[in-house]
Amino acid sequence: MDYHIKFRPDTYDEVLGQDKQVASIRKAVKSGNQSFILAGPSGVGKTTLARIIANEIKCTHDNRIEVDAATHTGIDPMRELTRSMNFKSISGNTKIYIIDEAHALSKAAWQSLLKSVEEPPDGVFWVFCTTELNKIPKTIQTRCLVYNLSSVSSDIIFDLLVFIKAEEELEIEDSWLELIAKNSDGSPRQALTSLSVCETCTSKKEVAQMLETVESENEVIELCRVLIAHEAWKKVITLVDSLIKQEVAPESIRRIILQYFMSVIKNPNTKNQMTVFCLQVFEAFKEAIYDTKAYYSIFLALGELYYSE
């Protein structure tokens, strides 16, 4: 079952974890604003919100134009869009142009959009969705209302998974859903995709294997404590070897380490020396590990913490 499609929000009230942004967007649309940038991590609801805006302005499906800028990066596709703005539609009075991966557009393409974004005709809306706001030209940003969507907390995602479990009558333990929520990177879409993958699992261990993560974070937390105590390097190797045997993805190990030290640095009782060490951990583990077998990246980061001056 494609839960991320079936349970995609259809209204503002159904969007999770973006209450302030949604309230502001709702008011802005009613006030007549027509050009928006929705920025934020993957899977937090940017395109979904753009489609909800389309629904709210009573834009028909024929007049909702979605473009993948990663594929159509050049000036010609954007010129075609701006030309089409001036044609009246027989199926409605409003049009919306939703540009996904907008940061991929070329400089020339952005230049061709400037006038249309600043002064769109009546009933024409622009929504640019991006994971890299810094790559959107300032000349465009200043002509749009910019909204930064945030990662959604694992608690909110867990509640969503529990709701879907009840709706779909799934035979899956809440502790498994908690594991899925924690490993969703703050993305409801990722969580629902993971639920689709894991719904036939028969144990939490199997769920952890499907997610390439740990059934329990205890071993990684123990690794964090070893780092803090600066125990023997041999202890570090033993703990990492155990995680390798469990086939835990290096990226999962990295994320748990960062989460642990984030909680340490936010603790008001943390001493200055420990704060400095936390910052060193963040630096050592700042790069995401896309290769699911790249355990050398974990050893390299740990080695930097152990042996650098």
Task: Based on the fold, state whether residues 36 and 134 are members of the same structural domain.
Answer: yes
Residue 5 pLDDT: 94
Element (H, E) at 60: none
pLDDT digits (tens, 9 = 90+) for 121-166: 889 999 999 999 999 999 999 999 999 999 999 999 999 999 999 9
Residue 233 pLDDT: 93
Report the candidate in 211, 216, 176 with the shortest Cα–Cα distance to residue 194: 211
User: For the chain, which ranges sit under pLDDT 70?
Assistant: 89-90, 309
What total number of domains does the chain contain? Answer: 3
Residue 236 pLDDT: 94
**Domain-located, residue 178:** yes
| Predicted model pTM | 0.84
Residue 61 pLDDT: 87
Task: Based on the fold, state whether residues 121 and 35 are members of the same structural domain.
Answer: yes
Residue 135 pLDDT: 96
Task: Based on the fold, state whether residues 199 and 254 are members of the same structural domain.
Answer: no
Residue 90 pLDDT: 66
Helix ranges (DSSP H) in 173-267: 174-182, 188-198, 204-211, 218-229, 233-245, 250-266
Residue 309 pLDDT: 56
Task: Based on the fold, state whether residues 248 and 303 are members of the same structural domain.
Answer: yes
Measured distance CA(48)–CA(44) in Å, rounded:
9
Residue 157 pLDDT: 97
How many residues are listed for the chain in this entry? Answer: 309
Task: Based on the fold, state whether residues 57 and 144 are members of the same structural domain.
Answer: yes
Identify the bridge partners of residue 95 per DSSP, sorted by sequence position.
124
pLDDT digits (tens, 9 = 90+) for 26-66: 999 999 999 999 999 999 999 999 999 999 999 998 899 99
Query: What's the CATH code of the domain at 34?
Result: 3.40.50.300
Task: Based on the fold, state whether residues 160 and 124 are members of the same structural domain.
Answer: no
